[in-house]
Amino acid sequence: MKDWMDLLYVMDFVSIGILITAISINSLSQIEAWIKAYMINSWLLSLLIFFVAVKNPEHHLYVASTLTFASKGVLLPFFLKSIVKQMKKVQVVETYLSTSLSLIISGIIIAIVYVSLGKGIFVTGFSSFVLKISVAVILIGLFIMITRRSAIAQILGLLFMENGVFLAGFSLTFGMPSIVELGVVFDLLMIVIIMGVFMVQIKQKFSSDAADMDQLTNLKG
């Protein structure tokens, strides 16, 4: 029993690391640093799922941990880095808000989530604390998508949101069926690959910054 309690504390610390990596991208200006933050976030998510598998031994949880590490922690960052290299330009993440204001809003989001989910919620999984963090990560990812001009940054915001949804699923139900997890990962890979092809083609044909959503809007007009 004591070992299980210790493992729960470890999982809480890992989930805090997931939240910190999501918050940290508000202070990063280079898209390469964003990709590294997402990669670390995915590694921590994979580690957390592994700890869940240790606590509640089921075959599909070990599969999910391995799949998360391979796809989110290796393949997706690799594809994103390839896209950035093909753009042949150092990608600086431009935002509609200042860094300090973005961090403050992220802090407010976390506070609202913790107050809102503080009482009156029934959790069937392993930790209500992890559930709060997962919801905060989802909302921070949404905030990133809204406030960033770079298409790649918005893709990363979507990927952070997906990690938050994944974490919420494990905190509530000890994971989803492997076939569902495979389907989600496949969809993410297709989104990243297709977006990358479109951005590179736009860059080549129009000599425009395909990563800047404002310039893409001007091209449409």
Give the global pTM. 0.80
177-196 average pLDDT score? 62
Report how far apart, in Å, the C-alpha atoms of 178 and of each of 3, 56, 57, 61, 184 are: 27, 16, 15, 8, 10
73-85 average pLDDT score? 84
Neighbours of 57 (CB within 10 A): 9
Q: What pLDDT does 210 receive?
A: 45
Residue at token pair 């952070």 = 160
pLDDT at 4 exceeding the cut of 60: no
pLDDT at 170 exceeding the cut of 70: yes
Residues 10, 14: Cα–Cα separation, whole Å:
6
Residues 49, 62: Cα–Cα separation, whole Å:
8
Predicted confidence band of residue 39 (pLDDT cuts 50, 70, 90): very high
Of 24-33, 102-111, 139-148, 212-221, give the lowest mean pLDDT range: 212-221
Q: What pLDDT does 60 receive?
A: 76
Residues 34, 215: Cα–Cα separation, whole Å:
21
Average pLDDT, the chain: 76
Q: What pLDDT does 197 receive?
A: 60
Between residues 51 and 182, the one the model is more confident about:
51
Q: What pLDDT does 1 receive?
A: 47
Q: What pLDDT does 54 receive?
A: 80
Instruction: Give 168's contacts (C-beta < 8 A, 6+ positions apart).
Output: 131, 134, 135, 138
pLDDT at 119 exceeding the cut of 80: no
- What 3 state SS string does the chain have? CHHHHHHHHHHHHHHHHHHHHHHHHHHCCEHHHHHHHHHHHHHHHHHHHHHHHHHCCCHHHHHHHHHHHHHHHHHHHHHHHHHHHHCCCCCECCECCCHHHHHHHHHHHHHHHHHHCCCCCCCCCCCHHHHHHHHHHHHHHHHHHHHECEHHHHHHHHHHHHHHHHHHHHHHHCCCCHHHHHHHHHHHHHHHHHHHHHHHHHHHHHCCCCCEHHHHHHHHC
Between residues 124 and 114, the one the model is more confident about:
114
Between residues 72 and 208, the one the model is more confident about:
72
Residues 39, 175: Cα–Cα separation, whole Å:
21
Is the CA virtual torsion 27, 159, 145, 121 positive or negative? negative
Q: What pLDDT does 204 receive?
A: 57
**pLDDT tens-place string over residues 83-108:** 777 766 556 667 778 889 999 999 99
17-28 average pLDDT score? 91
Between residues 53 and 176, the one the model is more confident about:
53
24-31 average pLDDT score? 86
Neighbours of 199 (CB within 10 A): 21
**pLDDT tens-place string over residues 44-71:** 999 988 887 887 777 777 888 888 898 8
Q: What pLDDT does 155 receive?
A: 83
